[in-house]
């Protein structure tokens, strides 16, 4: 039984939302960031880059978090941000050149996270958990929802369809040729239907935002300890999420780029691979896998197709069947000596959303010795691994939609 709750979002006024909302902070290069800050006084990037106001970009730690809180208050004082008078859900539709996503922004329960109603597919780093928990504690708000997915539901879909036929509260386009619409659901009957429909859903799966959800839960635990009147209904017991039906989730793969062959020559490396793979030299022909357990490889100026020898590899559980895990177990760890796949000194990842030639171009620069590609993980694989209480290797999935910051803001 999944718990969802309407909330009073803090959000931009209709006339300014296109200028206020932004992509995730981590996407911007320093040059892009400076340009946005210099030419757009309304962008939310001013809130999360508070040092810009004082021509000081290296503000960090708790001082930065407190200044973020101050810039946020200024946006509210200037009425760039206002808070809705009534709690509601928010239907958000994002349309790109090739795909359309439409789901519900809601408050979701930390209790569901602890009770495994909200399930994760990736591990988290304690350092990042604590950093973001400290950020939340000092700022008092969250401006970027966790992306959760759920099995398609006809009741929820009918409510979304009803609102899509009405005039949206927000409708704007961005320079990357994406369009954004948002509807406010504050009718008590519709709110109750949404709450009831999610109560009948057994599991929500985290698609993106593992650190944000874990940090929100950590914050809730700490605030509850400090609150002698804790009831479990306080706003800090929930975190903002974007709930999307799983049929709309778009999953891409990550390519792997390796900086050295662990002391092997290309010929010796191919011989080592032969234990687990049937190898086919494709020369300059770009090979893209068409089946699970097939891999593409670019080495020494040539493409290769690698086909797993199933007689040499044991499938023991759902994780062992995952291509990213197979590559780690048969190649990255035993042959290339990469025990920690987060080790940036040996391996680099890049999502294969559009540039399939990237396997070649990055290696041809000389910065990498070999690259690997595979098919993307699908939602069935993801759920099987999660339901078995297993975790995927890092950088297994690149999932869309990527959500904008400050479209709705959750205070606690």
pLDDT at 30 over 90: no
Helix 210-226 × helix 126-139 angle, to 10°? 60
Q: Please check the confidence at residue 384 and state whether its pLDDT lies above 80.
A: yes
Instruction: Give residue-wise pLDDT tens across range 341-377.
Output: 876 689 999 987 756 689 999 999 999 999 999 999 9
pLDDT above 70 as % of the chain: 98
pTM, entire model: 0.93
Summarised one tens digit per residue, pLDDT across range 261-271 is: 999 999 999 99
- Each residue of 86-142: pLDDT tens digit? 999 999 999 999 899 999 999 999 999 999 999 999 988 899 999 999 999 999 999
Question: How far is 75 from 66, CA to CA, in rounded Å?
Answer: 15
Q: How confident is the model at residue 340 (pLDDT cuts 50, 70, 90)?
A: confident
Query: What is the Cα–Cα distance from 3 to 169, expressed in whole angstroms?
Result: 25
Per the structure block, which two tokens stand in for 48?
């999360």
Measure the CA–CA gap between 317 and 324, rounded to whole angstroms: 14
pLDDT computed for residue 60 by the predictor: 82
Mean pLDDT of the chain: 95
Report for 24-33, 163-172, 349-358: range of highest mean pLDDT:
163-172
**Mean pLDDT throughout 42-70?**
89
Residue 116 Rama label (left phi>0; alpha psi -120 to 50; beta): left
Which domains can be identified in the chain, with CATH numbers?
A: 4-251+400-411 (no CATH), 254-376+386-395 (3.30.1760)
Q: What is the 3-state secondary structure (H, E, C) of the chain?
A: CCCEECECCEEECCCCHHHHCECCHHHCCHHHHHHHHHHCCCCCHHHHCHHHHHCCCCCCHHHHHHHHHHHHHHHHHCCCEEECCCCEEEEEEEECCCCEEEEEEEEEEHHHHHCCCEECCCCCCHHHHHHHHHHHHHHCEECCCEEEEECCCHHHHHHHHHHHCCCCCEEEECCCCCEEEEEEECCHHHHHHHHHHHHCCCCEEEEECHHHHHHHHHHHHHHHHHCCCCCCCCHHHEEEEEEEEHHHCEEECEEEEECCCCCCCHHHHHHHHCCCEEEEEEECCCCCCCCCCEEEEEECCEEEEEEECHHHCCCCCCHHHCHHHHHHHHHHCCCCCCCCCCCCCCEEEEECCCCCCHHHHHHHCCCCCEEEECCCCCHHHHHHHHHCCCCCCCCCCEEECCCCECCCEEEC
Q: Which of 21-25, 37-41, 344-348 has the highest mean pLDDT?
A: 37-41
Report pLDDT for 226: 95
Place of tokens 């789901």: 103
In sequence order, the 6+-apart residues with CB closer than 8 A to the CB of 394 are 122, 123, 341, 342
Query: Is pLDDT above 90 for 306?
Result: yes
Mean pLDDT of 196-222: 97
């Amino acid at each position: 039984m999944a718990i969802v709750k309407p909330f009073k979002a803090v959000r931009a006024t209709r006339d300014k939302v296109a200028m206020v909302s932004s992509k995730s902070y981590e996407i911007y290069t320093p040059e892009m960031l400076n340009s946005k800050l210099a030419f757009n006084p309304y962008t939310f990037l001013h809130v999360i880059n508070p040092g810009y106001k004082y021509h000081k970009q290296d503000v960090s730690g708790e001082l930065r978090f407190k200044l973020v809180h101050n810039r946020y208050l200024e946006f509210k004082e200037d009425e760039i941000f206002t808070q809705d008078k009534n709690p509601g859900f928010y239907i958000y539709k994002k349309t790109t050149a090739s795909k359309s996503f439409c789901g519900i922004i809601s408050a979701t329960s930390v209790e569901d996270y602890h009770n495994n109603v909200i399930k994760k597919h990736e591990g988290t780093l304690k350092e990042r958990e604590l950093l973001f928990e400290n950020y939340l504690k000092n700022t008092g708000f969250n401006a970027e929802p966790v992306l959760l997915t759920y099995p398609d539901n006809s009741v929820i879909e009918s409510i979304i369809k009803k609102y899509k036929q009405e005039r949206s509260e927000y409708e704007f386009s961005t320079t990357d040729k994406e369009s954004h619409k948002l509807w406010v659901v504050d009718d008590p009957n519709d709110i109750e239907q949404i709450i009831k429909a999610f109560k009948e859903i057994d599991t929500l799966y985290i698609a993106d935002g593992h650190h944000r959800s874990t940090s929100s839960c950590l914050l809730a635990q700490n605030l509850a300890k400090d609150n002698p009147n804790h009831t479990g209904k306080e706003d800090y017991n929930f975190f903002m999420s974007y709930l999307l039906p799983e049929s709309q989730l778009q999953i891409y793969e990550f390519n792997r780029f390796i900086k050295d062959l662990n002391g092997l020559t290309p010929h010796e490396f191919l011989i080592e691979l032969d234990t687990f793979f049937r190898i086919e030299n494709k020369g300059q022909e770009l090979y893209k896998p068409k089946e699970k357990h097939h891999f593409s490889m670019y080495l020494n100026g040539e493409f290769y197709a690698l086909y797993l020898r199933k007689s040499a590899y044991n499938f023991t559980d759902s994780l062992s069947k995952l291509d990213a895990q197979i590559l780690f177990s048969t190649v990255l760890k035993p042959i290339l000596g990469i025990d920690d796949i987060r080790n940036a000194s040996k391996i680099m990842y890049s999502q294969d959303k559009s540039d399939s030639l990237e396997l070649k171009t990055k290696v041809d620069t000389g910065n990498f010795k070999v690259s690997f590609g595979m098919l993307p993980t699908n939602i069935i694989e993801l759920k099987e691994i999660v339901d078995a209480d297993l975790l995927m290797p890092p950088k297994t999935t690149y999932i869309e939609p990527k959500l904008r910051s400050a479209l709705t803001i959750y205070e606690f």
